[in-house]
Structure 1
Amino acid sequence: MDLILWRHAEAVDAAPGMDDMSRVLTTQGERHAERVAQWLNERLPSEVKVLVSPAVRTRQTVQALRRRVELCDALAPRQGVQAMLQATGWPDAPQPVLVVGHQPSLGMALAHLVGGQPLAQAMPWRVRKAGLWWLRCERRPHERVGVVVLAVRTPELQ
């Protein structure tokens, strides 16, 4: 199974009284999301499942991908890594899954899946805004699940 973790691009700071879920991307965030989406569109298989947090900034981040997306409440801020991994079907989903979500959940997932830290003790890895990590779960008979990092991208990389 391939699991791609994509953090939302840069968003405006919440104004007084503004709901965090309503924050929108900055102009730079829009450019960065477009750049990463272009990179993904050149590489993603057609059968990828795209799961997106219901926050406005994540929905805007994924727009340039121009693919069918599913809003997923389990990816909303503060829902936790366990909910996110369960929603993706990790490690047994039949197709690749792209998650567009938030810190610290994405960084906690990386600490757990790549770094081998128990979820209860995981310290989140830093994931840059609009950055992504492409992971692959590899299983061989009679072996534990192995995780391979296929790619790490930031919007600054061309």
Structure 2
Amino acid sequence: MDLILWRHAEAEEFAASDLARALTTRGRKQAQNVAKWLRTRLPDDALVLASPATRTIQTAETLSDQYRVVRELAPNASADDVLNAAGWPKGVAQTVVIVGHQPTLGHVAARLLGNSEASWPLKKAGVWWIASRERDGDDQAVLRAAITPDLI
């Protein structure tokens, strides 16, 4: 499977609640640019899963109107929550895009790619594209792409 970890784009600092924080004008542009990059590379049947936070939903909507909000992906979710939602390593779909938050996405990447419990930094609107494969009976994670909005 392909697991794409996409951090929400830049959001306003304050709102009625953390879940209500919306994207800024800059954040909307970041999300649109990254979505355009992703759209040319994703299969049509990619499954998009988003946290219930407004900023992640708005980020996901720049990619597709076909996405699912998953309560377990809310801020402060665990790496296990993300991996379970995606069905890693076999996948609930061949390609799963997780639109989520730091430090959770950093925990997922560190665990899969570095066998570490650390949280690797991921810029707002940044993407890690990780593929699963089996070699000699072992499940492995392979980094296919890492991109930030300022490189697009």
Q: TM-score, normalised by structure 1?
A: 0.92
Letter in 1 for 2:127: L
Alignment of 1:8-157 (within 5 A): 8-15=8-15, 18-93=16-91, 94-117=93-116, 122-140=117-135, 142-157=136-151
Gaps of 5+ in 2: none
Bigger Cα Rg: 1
Measure, in 2, the Cα distance between the counterparts of 1:67 and 1:92.
25
Measure, in 1, the Cα distance between the counterparts of 2:41 and 2:58.
20
Letter in 1 for 2:125: A
- Match of 1:145, SS state, is strand
Measure, in 2, the Cα distance between the counterparts of 1:91 and 1:130.
24
Deviation at 1:87, TM superposition (A): 0.8
Letter in 1 for 2:121: R
Deviation at 1:61, TM superposition (A): 0.7
Deviation at 1:145, TM superposition (A): 1.0
Write the deviation string for residues 119-139 of structure 1: whole angstroms up to 9, x where unpaired: xxx110000000000000011
Partner of 1:7: 7
Measure, in 2, the Cα distance between the counterparts of 1:31 and 1:78.
25
- Match of 1:36, SS state, is helix
Deviation at 1:111, TM superposition (A): 0.7
Measure, in 2, the Cα distance between the counterparts of 1:48 and 1:156.
24
Write the deviation string for residues 19-38 of structure 1: whole angstroms up to 9, x where unpaired: 10000011100000000000
Aligned alpha-carbon RMSD (Å): 1.0
Gaps of 5+ in 1: none
Greater displacement, 62-71 / 48-57: 62-71
Measure, in 1, the Cα distance between the counterparts of 2:43 and 2:12.
32
Measure, in 2, the Cα distance between the counterparts of 1:79 and 1:35.
26
